[in-house]
Amino acid sequence: MSRELQSREQGWSLTEVLTVLAITGLLAALAWPSYQTMAARVQARSATSEIASELRLARQLAMARRERLRVIFDQEGRTISLRPAGVEAILHVYHYADKGVIVEEPTAGPELLFYPSGRSATPTTIRVRDSQGRETTFTVSITGRVSIS
């Protein structure tokens, strides 16, 4: 009976535990670059959607408030701010500095203007690059429509 009890109490040897840990560490090391790439892609996609939402918000606010609204792209501060035209008040600021993306200056300049009708003063294109070099393009048409391509 003591022999059966002794065989049940035996555990894993140190060699077996170290082997399992080594295999687990190797698999984690192999998976890490793929995980980083995937995380950067997800974060950039999220930032891209948020920037498009900011532009759509600006258009909606211009129509709801029945006033011209400026969207200002600050390259140095890495922000996008929404302000009423002719007033220095700030309605909303979006910070993208920690999002892992670079927003290039819009083709029409660092400031967009939405009219109370929802139309844009000038059509423009905005490029967003992520840390992996992938680029997404926004287009704001003269009608104020924001599209991602």
Q: Please indicate, yes or no, whether the overall pTM of this predicted structure exceeds 0.85.
A: no
With CA atoms as reference, report the closest residue to 36 among 102, 139, 136, 131.
131
Q: State yes or no: pLDDT of 2 exceeds 60.
A: no
Which residues, other chains included, contact 76 with Cβ-Cβ below 8 Å and sequence gap of 6+?
Answer: none
Answer positive or negative: Cα dihedral of 73, 79, 83, 89. negative
Quote the pLDDT of residue 37. 82
Q: How far apart are the first and last CA of the chain?
A: 74
Distance CA 24, CA 47 (A): 33
CATH annotation of 14-148: 3.55.40.10
Q: Are 145 and 118 in contact (CB under 8 A)?
A: no
Quote the pLDDT of residue 8. 58
44 against 72, higher pLDDT: 72
Token code pair at residue 98: 């920690």
85-112 tens-digit pLDDT: 988 899 999 999 888 889 999 999 999 9
* Amino acid at residue number 78: R
Q: Tell me if residue 72 falls in helix, strand or coil.
A: strand
Q: Are 148 and 136 in contact (CB under 8 A)?
A: yes
Quote the pLDDT of residue 9. 60
Domain residue ranges in the chain? 14-148
In the chain, pLDDT over 90 holds for what percent of residues?
A: 58
Q: What is the mean pLDDT of residues 56-75?
A: 94
Residue 114's Cβ-count burial label (10 Å; 0-12, 13-18, 19+) is buried
Name the pLDDT band for 68 (thresholds 50, 70, 90).
very high
Q: What is the DSSP letter of 59?
A: H
Quote the pLDDT of residue 1. 52
Report H helices in the chain. 2-9, 14-65
